[in-house]
Amino acid sequence: MSRPRLILGSGSPRRRELLAQIGIVADEIRPPEIDETPRKTELPRPYCVRMAREKALAVRAGADDMVLSADTTVALGRRILGKPRDAGEAAQFMLAMSGRRHKVVTAVAVRRGTRIWERDVVTTVKMKRLSDEELNAYLATGDWQGKAGGYGIQGPAGALIPWIQGSFTAVVGLPLAEAAGLLQAAGYPVYRGCA
């Protein structure tokens, strides 16, 4: 029995790397073009789930192809901290999280034909109280660019995170246990090489 073609509906190199950790390489990468603007009064978790679903639906795929999409959102209370427009906004985000806990929500959607399997994972993250020196050194790395909340835990910002409660891979961008479960439920042979 041949496995279905897997299309990764994401341009994130981090998601490709995470899938590779469990031996999965997408047959094709098709980042979807969708409007990621939160709706008025939309809360972070429903927003993130909606984004993952809309991304999965926006990717062109054959009837038996499988599409995997995900969205990661940083939430400070009810506020969604998206990808900062510039270093000034990245600094605002980092200062808002400095010395506080925040949530990282990552939603995953797998589509095969007309069916969709979905999961979301919420992880609590604590950022240390940042000194001006730490903040400026971090901003100078440029690592804040293109990352929800202005940081990636797998990069230089990892030194600013003393603890998390939840899924490390979800904070990076794809909760591997949940993604593997969804792929398996949709008929993808995740563990074919593990026997």
**DSSP 8-state symbol, 100:** S
Which single residue is written with the structure tokens 């903040």?
135
Closest of 89, 109, 79, 108 to residue 167, by C-alpha:
108
Q: How many Å apart are CA 168 and CA 166, to the nearest integer?
A: 7
Give 93: exposed, middle or buried? Use CB within 10 Å, 0-12, 13-18, 19+: buried
Residue holding tokens 């969708």? 34
Q: Is 71 a catalytic residue?
A: yes
Residue 75, strand partner residues: 80, 103
Integer Rg of the chain from CA = 17
- Selected catalytic residue, list 35, 64, 71, 132: 71
Catalytic residue annotation: 71
